[in-house]
Amino acid sequence: MKILVVQDRLRSGGTERQSILLANAFAAAGHATTLLTFRPGGALDNTVAADVTRRVLQPIDTGLDWLAPQLYRGIAATAPDVILCMGRMANCYAGGLQERFPTTAVIATMRTGKKLPRLFRRSLDIVRHVVANSHEARANLLAQYNLAPERVSVIHNSLVFPPAPASGAREELRTIHGATKKTSVLLCVAMFRPEKNQRELIEIASGLPAGFDWQLWLAGDGATRELCKKFARGKPFADRVKFLGWHRNPAPLYSAADLAVHASSSEALSNFLIEAQSQGLPVVAYEAQGIAECFVPGDTGFAIKRDDRDAFRAKVVQLACAKAADKATLAQRARDFALSSFDHARQVARYLELFKQLRR
């Protein structure tokens, strides 16, 4: 089977990691796989496996995510059986691709809770099938865009990073950032974009009880990082907020942290939270599309009503102050849930089975 995965650029986000993970896995399974991007480069560009054919449409990086010169000609030369569109820009082109190549199974994906562009909405009506990465995203597709139920499947995101084995790196990393054994390290790994809402996490953490020893670790890069740093700078708690930058593999951060926190306003399913669960971290997050599918609600994670900072803080303190034995039990339940629900091999197999069905 000839599979084409389309993505605008290989930046450092969760969708891009999933695109590369899937392309690498399809190729490893023996399928002729091409990963096509509009823009060249990107932080993850060199993580594409050697057996994946890499194609780029822009000869030089124009900085325009939507610009896809010679897209149809390039795809005609590839002649794929299946086209999987990942990310907003790729999905905007998905409908046109299905019209241009009617015998090819073009698949759109719903991986966001943000308002969809008009061309994205048009694509949903035209493509052969749509994959949502959460049940809540699928329900919204059926309710808001009137898609037939048989045209929409749910395939959750896959775990990108396997659980890290226990090592001395935890204490070393905590020591580097001035965290003691009593410090509760709150972690968020996400690109700095307005919808990821890291500033809200800073606001929440700043209001934690005076006697509570905390640090907030914000890992990632992006447009709003400097604004968040500027906001925290000069505040009495500024030394407790750590901006750790982008990490190709954030697994050591998970092992060094105590709690995963998330305040995103628009998700479909959070890669960060399922990775945190696989590392045994309990979760406190604002409600958003698909968030409650990232953990066992009311057990390994808690979805807090949006903007209820007091409830968010109370849950953080409650989890941080639990007995060591209870924390260990909770961590094991979180790991078991993540490994069974977001298993890489199973998710890849579901995609391949869907491709075969659509080709028939």
Pick from 101, 116, 5: nearest CA to 55:
5
- What is the pLDDT at residue 166? 58
How do residues 3-32 score in pLDDT, each as one tens digit? 999 999 999 888 999 999 999 999 999 999
**Rounded to an integer, what distance in angstroms lies between the CA atom of residue 94 and that of residue 86?**
10
**Mean pLDDT over the full length of the chain:** 94
Give the number of other CB atoms < 10 A from CB of residue 103: 6
Give the number of other CB atoms < 10 A from CB of residue 91: 27
- What is the pLDDT at residue 235? 87
How do residues 270-306 score in pLDDT, each as one tens digit? 999 999 999 999 999 999 999 999 999 999 999 999 9
Contact between 89 and 63 (Cβ < 8 Å): no
Span between the terminal Cα atoms of the chain, in Å:
12
Give the β-pairing of 241-245 and 301-304: unpaired
Contact between 151 and 130 (Cβ < 8 Å): yes
How do residues 178-228 score in pLDDT, each as one tens digit? 999 999 999 999 999 998 999 999 999 999 999 999 999 999 999 999 999
Domains of the chain: 2-158+343-359 (3.40.50.2000), 169-341 (3.40.50.2000)
- What is the pLDDT at residue 171? 86
For residue 154, list its beta bridge partners.
Answer: 132
**Rounded to an integer, what distance in angstroms lies between the CA atom of residue 360 and that of residue 356?**
6
The vertex-110 CA angle with 104 and 115, nearest 5°, equals: 125
Is 90 exceeded by the pLDDT of residue 360? no
- What is the pLDDT at residue 226? 96
pLDDT-based confidence at residue 311 (cuts at 50, 70, 90) = very high
pTM of the model: 0.90
How do residues 32-91 score in pLDDT, each as one tens digit? 999 999 999 999 999 999 999 999 999 999 999 999 999 999 999 899 999 999 999 999
Question: Which sign, positive or negative, has the C-alpha torsion 325, 170, 165, 269?
Answer: positive
pLDDT-based confidence at residue 167 (cuts at 50, 70, 90) = low
- What is the pLDDT at residue 293? 95
